[in-house]
Each structure stands twice: as C-alpha cells, then as structure tokens.
Amino acid sequence: MFKQYPPSIIDVEASGFGAKSFPIEVGVVRYDGAKICRLIRPLDEWAHWDESAEALHGISRSNLLSHGNNPVQVCRELNEFLGNTVVYSDGWVVDHPWLIKLFAAASMDMTFSCRALDYLLSEDQMALWHDVKDDIVDSLNVRRHRASSDAMVIQQTFIETKRLSTLPKSDFAAVAK
C-alpha cells in the first residue's frame, strides 16, 4: 500500500443505525478524482429497515430492490476500483462494519483497507472541519445525503482544511475564528 494525496474517501449509507442495519449504498472518491457509487440490493436475510434512515438518505427499499446491484458485483467493483490501497472514512465506526457485512455476504475479501479519517487530520484541521465542510456543502450546492456526494464533500473538506492549516499562524488564527 502506498500513500496518495488527497486521500481516497469512502462513505456508506445504510438501512438504519444499529447492529441489524445493512449497507444500501457505497460511494468512493479516489485520490485521482475518479468516482464510483453503487446502490446495493438487499439480501433476503437483510430485513431491518429504519424509516428515519430512509428520511435522511432518501433511498427506499423498493428502489434498492428495483435498481440495486448484487452485493458480489459491488464488492468486485470496489476491489477493482481501489486495488491494494487505503480508503478513509469520516464515519469509520459504522462504515467499516457495514463494509465487513457487505464483503462477508459476498464471501469475498477486501483488497483495500479502510481506516478512520481522524488518523490523517491534524488538530488544526479538526478545529476547522465543521465550518469548512458547511462552506463546501453550500458552494457545491449539495442537497442530498448520499454516499457519493458525502465522499466528495469529505475529500474536498480534507483538502481545504489541509490548505488552511498550512497558513502562517497569524492567518490561520483569523480563519479558525
């Protein structure tokens, strides 16, 4: 595995928020700007559905059944797209288990590693993160909470907070207020 800049970002949308939830969409923005986003057709044993999660991402179960991709195909495409690289998640504590559930259902191993984005962020970046992210959402006019949009916003937020955190301390202090 090798380091890339900016980092590849992954985001996963799910059927709910608890342990019984399952992945329904995965989006990745790779270090080179290439993107992939796939809806995932639920397996029969994936029954948990949370209406409040659906209200957040706007993906219905019927849409997944009609337009979702087979989990095996999604895993193959993710492995091909990411290869032997590292991908980062700002919600690793939930995204990583959902990826594990997806790949286990497909009886496949991930060729890539998924790590928490926090490991890459400096304290200065963390201090700027939420304000910068809000500005990026506004500037990109992102109106939907979906995996591909979220991954793009996260990557752009990383890039901008990195840039701002390298400013001279006097300039950084003005931005961080």
Comparing 10-24, 41-55, 133-147, 154-168, the range with the smallest average pLDDT is 133-147
- Total length of the chain: 177
**Cα–Cα distance list, 37 to 1, 52, 85, 92, 149 (Å):** 23, 22, 18, 18, 9
Confidence of residue 142 (pLDDT cuts 50, 70, 90): confident
Angle at the Cα of 131 (from 13 to 52), degrees rounded to 5? 30
Question: What confidence tens digit (pLDDT) does each residue in 31-87 have?
Answer: 999 999 999 999 999 999 999 999 989 999 999 999 999 999 999 999 999 999 999
Q: Are 83 and 4 in contact (CB under 8 A)?
A: no
**Mean of all residue pLDDT scores within the chain:** 92
Question: What confidence tens digit (pLDDT) does each residue in 85-132 have?
Answer: 999 999 999 999 999 999 999 999 999 999 999 999 999 999 999 999
Confidence of residue 1 (pLDDT cuts 50, 70, 90): very low
Q: What is the pLDDT of residue 25?
A: 97
